[in-house]
Structure 1
């Protein structure tokens, strides 16, 4: 317990035990269609970090909110438990990955429970258990049956010291060293298992448009990763090698092709390297596809342009990739930025053949060629310097050239490549295949699944290669001797369908209950880091589509709404152990409580935004919770007996406004705004209690609303205060507060009151009034509201003339003309306000706030009660202020 706060440890322990005793968060199997709320499950690294806490507070808060609004909610948790880090940790500690992983899981589960996360732990999964990875293997077999699995040679990153394949992200630095042992990484060709995700490339791309609940940035990242391009395949003739196929999206620029480029691993490049030392040196030691500048080497060969017959030089260039297009391209430096940079570096000609289309272009005239010496012109336009095609627009030229070039045909290319799932690791799902000399690669029958991992052998090699007894088996087809596949699956396989396993985690006969999955899927709200915006989400979409096609799932997309939460930073930098700037969630829980940590993070910024951790902010949040607890304690000890007067009416309207606004913000997952509204209501209730004897029903309703509005984010203290206010049952099961108010009306009333208070402050400050004696707030006359409405609705160029067409406005003479000029000047920014009666009522009910702040009586005066000199300053939404000093 803090010296200045409440005993948060006792409160949190008491309610966590109560939730456990009542199984408060269990989702029964017999619900029809629960709201499915899911955070991306974590890798069990040993301890929660602040990124975990933020992610899971977001999902927990939303799940609690939906539950309080009456939904039945599915909110599970599990563990992405396979992977190389656990294998490395086990090797370093001379233990085994399983023990290490489950120790980490136990620790992190305890921490999650201490944070008060409301998970249905009956549905917990760990992907490293045979009960789970059996179904990875089963799905592999189903993919194999549908010809969506292939085994073929592929280039891989190979660490000779660790004797294992490395993913690209495990190759570090310009020297390309192994992340684990700093050994230089080699490139090798190995037989690898692939899932044919490219078979679904078009559907994966086209369905992105339907993911309206996903951030646009994530959708665009997926589009870019799939990288569909429509273009033309055509042949250039290379000296000594014959026809070589190239792909281009801009065949309209072919007259400007001034060189031809091959990827470093193109077969012709590799053949040249055997004979040309310069080419060999470049390929082996200089080529850097990830470099900032394109680089290459001239081969001495020429390529013949199929349209012009011109011979152009051939280069091996590192910006050409063998798995993009055909690994060979015609380079047009005048109209491609990358080609332009290369041409400048190598001294290759740069020729313009596309000109910007003039605004007054008649469809035939050939415009002047642009200057492309400094930078390429990359847009479509009109062909120039292109023989008989000059004067055509780019689109027409592409069509005609594709028809005219004998070797050309329309083609579609993708950046997306098939998914290589082979990993030379122990701690992963064994690929369910045996290799037989007679039968080849044979999948393990379903009845023999799971193929379980053998005991761990601590070796620098793949431990499965060393597990001789486990490796030796019999062929399911012929019964002869066979060996097991020793590659394990990429852990992305585990996470590509885990959301389905939560639905029926105890089923032993199927990976998931199909009927329930059809009822419960897709996930309504998914939350996770932006770093998973492409691979995990793309693979999950792929798996869902394959399962829909072959297993009867009725949904083709796994996640309806996606939120990519921002990072928790310290002094502008991401928290990391290497930087020594990690804040321990456990310390914060012990010192201030889980509710404080949760509330601080949710109020600090919108969930999508990064934000800086602040100890001062944590302390302030703890002080707020302490004050709220004191307010409830004071109310229950001494129930007030005040009148149901104008002040009580204002407070009641503020309660309604807060509920209406906070509810809308919770719906949008903008928790920071909802919490700001709730904290403002607490401030109003404190001012109310300090100013007068509160009306008991109004004050109690305000406190009850605050407690329920805070319950999704600060559940422990909310339970404590809900109970103290005399309510039965858990607050998590309480009804969400409601308010029958118009959101737009509430916002306008709020703005009116705040603007008026700010105007009073400004006048007192500028005039140097030390002791105001009285304050008059004067409502604008009705004709000004009519004029404002006309100005907003009118599109007449002469607004003043239209205003003067209204007799009751024209009668105001110079005042109408002056106000009309003001409206004309601000026409684009105008918006409707409350009507005069509503303005009067709103300000009259809020007058006590101004009186309390400035210790002076306040009168809210209608327009007909003052002279014209005062009224000239009064406008709709901005009453005139008269202060007697």
Structure 2
């Protein structure tokens, strides 16, 4: 450490990064017993880290370092989501090839990660574009095929004409349905596609969400919504001149209120009508807006026959009907569905109520649905023989007794289309033979490696004639390789398993080790991956459990979806020109400053605004801490271990207790705030007349250890300066004495008391207080409050008056009891009267220093009654002369 006020962050960071690497401190031995598995979602190698990366990986690094200091073996790996269309497009623009471009980007980003001090076991690094990784994608495809979970069929897909590839639904953005990469309008095409049959696991994927207690509730709900299981009835309507059309409904009890029938714009009948009717064509191609605020549609002139009532219903093409939800057709019941009601009002369709609220008299009357739909269950009215039945019974009876109705369960979830018409991805291990059809490439011939890149329009694999031409594995005849590559979600659906045994050559992962090390204990990544990546990972894990002997059916025990780093309220984006370079921050302030600011700015799951002032404040704090350590080692202390030292020791204990709790829950900002406050307390204590050296040393060592997971470089330097053994990254997490809850209560008591003194001084305009009396409440009030907190009696006052000590206080007890009765739902826990007095006496020196006044801590019996009666447990009375 340099002797001047400022430390050289560049020199310090490079020194300790080299020392960690030489000592291999982040390596996880293969024989480690069930290490704590900490993982950040691996990045796409774009060439530069952005602030979202820095935040994500600082969170996982801080938590991994914390777990290591708690004595855990820790697995904390890193890799690269290296396939994908962006690299292919970048290579085309630069007239290079995707592999060279990608590997150059990886080298750059790895260097940036190392400069941030992230403690990864780089020996476990995986790169998904390398054959030794993607051969296992191909192996998985074969395993899924053997399990009956692979299917090839024609399907309508999202097609980007600019990127010339299929897009997943989540890659089509906005009302204009633009490609997420190039903003080109997306088209619909029908292509032969390969699918993984994730729908076979829909029920398990949905039901197991209830077991994911360590996931955010919002993410679990997003997964439930995406799977979208609904139990209901399939009704078959006869559409004039077009035969049978099925519609799904969860409200068969409302079928007598159906007044129209609606088809999705891309339904087969809608497409037929559009080819014949210009009005329908114009609506389908130009006017339909599924994302619009209001439902819209066009009448077709056709009718559909209600299979329950026999009524003829007008048929519409409507943009609020979606082909990927239900069957792409529905019966419209405007009296009992808000969306149908809005559509009926717009199109002039009848609105007929057939379900009424239950009545105690038993004579339910049809509700008024002229203004709004009645959407609750109830009792059927005007529904023929079903009138008078409750909704649930009616749904069952109508379904059972209608010939063209059946119970069914439907899902929003669709099978996973993995085909992509591009070069830079895992080749699908299939050859097409005129005699044998599609044939799997045998395992012993894997990997099917990509050929040399050819910069051409369309899919470069189509142009790789020599690579395409091959022999059929079954008959030996001429065959052609599949030219589609896999969706990159396949790469990320199991990469966390490869980290367990990345050098394994005869299997994708070591099953025994995976059974010991999995699941991932803490997973961290952006909310944008809350559905597809996590759902596919869960699916693949379940299949591997069924086919390969994996013991775990869920990949991630705990999930944190970290918030965004914004600038002036907007997400950082190159296109907006509001990007802050992590490299610039590291060069100017140091990696520790960047990490510290990120972690103390907000809780990890919340968005926060980048603040240059906040960065500078973090930098100044680290400088002050470094100076404090230097000053300590250069100073001799001969103070006694007195009450003041005892207070500091208790505050050290309280800080450690809080920090441990907050690190466990990944609320680092609270732990860091407490650590900074301890640093400030130590500074005040060192300025007293006779600070106790061992207390100061323990405090500084504690601060350094608590900060080490977040600001590791400077803390290693300070640990060495303080004479610590070995690396601080391998040191034991600091311990504390006492009960964590009591320590927290004591700290809150002191903070509130100091705040109350400040408030009185400010409001009363006292310029120069001479004496401050802090009066602890009488012991009977503590007993009364404890009884009130524990009591479930309706009248607390009556219960309190049964206690002699309390009843003897007369009117004072009655008044205090009334207060407790009113506040009983929010009464806090408190220390005992004796503990409260002890803690306040230890903290009196802080008030004395702040106000330059004598401080007395008194019991209620020692103080004037007019002051004492104002005191309550946890909130002593204050009197200032």
Which TM bucket (shorter chain)? over 0.9
Distance 1:205 1:390, change over 3 A: same
Matched residue, 2:17: 16
Matched residue, 1:134: 135
Please tell me whether the aligned partners of residues 233 and 247 of structure 1 are also in contact (alpha carbons under 8 angstroms): yes
- Choose the corresponding residue for 2:470, options 439, 455, 473: 473
Matched residue, 1:188: 189
What does residue range 314-325 of structure 1 map to in structure 2 within 5 Å?
314-325=315-326
2:458 matches 1:461: yes
Aligned-pair CA distance for 1:412: 0.4
Matched residue, 1:264: 265
**331-340 vs 546-555, which moves further:** 331-340
Matched residue, 2:448: 451
Matched residue, 1:633: 630
Please tell me whether the aligned partners of residues 592 and 714 of structure 2 are also in contact (alpha carbons under 8 angstroms): yes
Matched residue, 2:611: 614
Please tell me whether the aligned partners of residues 66 and 709 of structure 2 are also in contact (alpha carbons under 8 angstroms): yes
**782-791 vs 752-761, which moves further:** 782-791
Matched residue, 2:709: 712
CA distance in 2, matches of 1:559, 1:187: 35
Gaps of 5+ in 1: none
**105-114 vs 308-317, which moves further:** 308-317
Matched residue, 2:803: 806
Per the alignment, in what secondary structure is the counterpart of residue 578 of structure 1?
helix
Matched residue, 1:29: 30
Distance 1:25 1:163, change over 3 A: closer
CA distance in 2, matches of 1:827, 1:518: 49
Matched residue, 2:100: 99
Per the alignment, in what secondary structure is the counterpart of residue 812 of structure 1?
coil
Q: Deviations 1:450-507 (Å, cap 9, x if unpaired)?
A: 1111111111111001111111111111111111110000000000000001111111
Aligned-pair CA distance for 1:4: 6.2
CA distance in 2, matches of 1:801, 1:477: 89
Distance 1:166 1:556, change over 3 A: closer
CA distance in 2, matches of 1:164, 1:859: 78
Residues paired across the two proteins, number: 880
CA distance in 2, matches of 1:883, 1:597: 44
Q: Deviations 1:637-668 (Å, cap 9, x if unpaired)?
A: 11322110000000000011111111011111
Please tell me whether the aligned partners of residues 175 and 291 of structure 2 are also in contact (alpha carbons under 8 angstroms): no
2:743 matches 1:742: no
Q: Deviations 1:570-602 (Å, cap 9, x if unpaired)?
A: 111110111111100001101110000001110
Per the alignment, in what secondary structure is the counterpart of residue 558 of structure 2?
strand
**773-782 vs 642-651, which moves further:** 773-782
Please tell me whether the aligned partners of residues 2 and 591 of structure 1 are also in contact (alpha carbons under 8 angstroms): no
Matched residue, 1:882: 879
What does residue range 2-151 of structure 1 map to in structure 2 within 5 Å?
5-151=6-152
Matched residue, 1:822: 819
Matched residue, 1:587: 584
Distance 1:877 1:154, change over 3 A: same
Per the alignment, in what secondary structure is the counterpart of residue 434 of structure 1?
strand
What does residue range 352-501 of structure 1 map to in structure 2 within 5 Å?
352-358=353-359, 361=360, 365-501=362-498
Matched residue, 2:647: 650
Per the alignment, in what secondary structure is the counterpart of residue 233 of structure 1?
strand
Aligned-pair CA distance for 1:185: 4.2
CA distance in 1, matches of 2:751, 2:169: 55
Per the alignment, in what secondary structure is the counterpart of residue 560 of structure 1?
coil
CA distance in 2, matches of 1:212, 1:134: 34
CA distance in 1, matches of 2:356, 2:46: 57
Matched residue, 2:668: 671
2:691 matches 1:694: yes
Q: Deviations 1:351-383 (Å, cap 9, x if unpaired)?
A: 11122334xx36xx2322222222222222222
Please tell me whether the aligned partners of residues 5 and 627 of structure 2 are also in contact (alpha carbons under 8 angstroms): no
Per the alignment, in what secondary structure is the counterpart of residue 677 of structure 1?
helix
2:506 matches 1:502: no
CA distance in 1, matches of 2:235, 2:177: 36
Per the alignment, in what secondary structure is the counterpart of residue 350 of structure 1?
coil
CA distance in 2, matches of 1:263, 1:311: 19
CA distance in 2, matches of 1:185, 1:661: 52
CA distance in 1, matches of 2:506, 2:427: 20
Matched residue, 1:752: 749
Distance 1:163 1:675, change over 3 A: closer
Distance 1:611 1:175, change over 3 A: closer
Please tell me whether the aligned partners of residues 366 and 384 of structure 1 are also in contact (alpha carbons under 8 angstroms): no
Q: Deviations 1:589-624 (Å, cap 9, x if unpaired)?
A: 011100000011101111000011101010000111
Distance 1:96 1:235, change over 3 A: same
Please tell me whether the aligned partners of residues 5 and 623 of structure 1 are also in contact (alpha carbons under 8 angstroms): no
CA distance in 2, matches of 1:757, 1:177: 58
Aligned-pair CA distance for 1:439: 0.7
Aligned-pair CA distance for 1:158: 3.2
CA distance in 1, matches of 2:168, 2:807: 77
Gaps of 5+ in 2: none
Aligned-pair CA distance for 1:828: 2.6
CA distance in 2, matches of 1:4, 1:722: 18
Aligned-pair CA distance for 1:709: 0.6
Distance 1:342 1:644, change over 3 A: same
CA distance in 2, matches of 1:856, 1:181: 69
Distance 1:706 1:178, change over 3 A: closer
CA distance in 1, matches of 2:804, 2:858: 25
Q: Deviations 1:77-105 (Å, cap 9, x if unpaired)?
A: 00000000000000000000001001100
CA distance in 2, matches of 1:40, 1:162: 26
Q: Deviations 1:320-345 (Å, cap 9, x if unpaired)?
A: 22232222211111111221121121
TM superposition score normalised by structure 1: 0.97
CA distance in 1, matches of 2:648, 2:162: 72
Please tell me whether the aligned partners of residues 12 and 713 of structure 2 are also in contact (alpha carbons under 8 angstroms): yes
Per the alignment, in what secondary structure is the counterpart of residue 333 of structure 1?
coil
CA distance in 2, matches of 1:279, 1:544: 46
Aligned-pair CA distance for 1:69: 0.3
- Choose the corresponding residue for 2:783, options 782, 786, 798: 786
CA distance in 1, matches of 2:267, 2:383: 30
CA distance in 1, matches of 2:823, 2:165: 68
Matched residue, 2:572: 575
CA distance in 2, matches of 1:184, 1:801: 73
Q: Deviations 1:56-83 (Å, cap 9, x if unpaired)?
A: 0000000000000000000000000000
Matched residue, 2:305: 304
CA distance in 2, matches of 1:478, 1:672: 65
TM superposition score normalised by structure 2: 0.97
Aligned-pair CA distance for 1:159: 4.2
Aligned-pair CA distance for 1:835: 1.1
2:209 matches 1:212: no
Q: What's the Cα RMSD here?
A: 1.8
Q: Deviations 1:653-692 (Å, cap 9, x if unpaired)?
A: 0011111111011111110111111111111111100123
- Choose the corresponding residue for 1:856, options 853, 857, 860: 853
Distance 1:879 1:733, change over 3 A: same
Distance 1:842 1:189, change over 3 A: same
CA distance in 2, matches of 1:427, 1:286: 37
Distance 1:329 1:118, change over 3 A: same
Distance 1:573 1:289, change over 3 A: same
What does residue range 767-786 of structure 1 map to in structure 2 within 5 Å?
767-786=764-783
Q: Deviations 1:520-542 (Å, cap 9, x if unpaired)?
A: 11100000000000000000000
Aligned-pair CA distance for 1:108: 0.3
Matched residue, 1:223: 224
Please tell me whether the aligned partners of residues 2 and 592 of structure 1 are also in contact (alpha carbons under 8 angstroms): no
Please tell me whether the aligned partners of residues 239 and 303 of structure 1 are also in contact (alpha carbons under 8 angstroms): yes
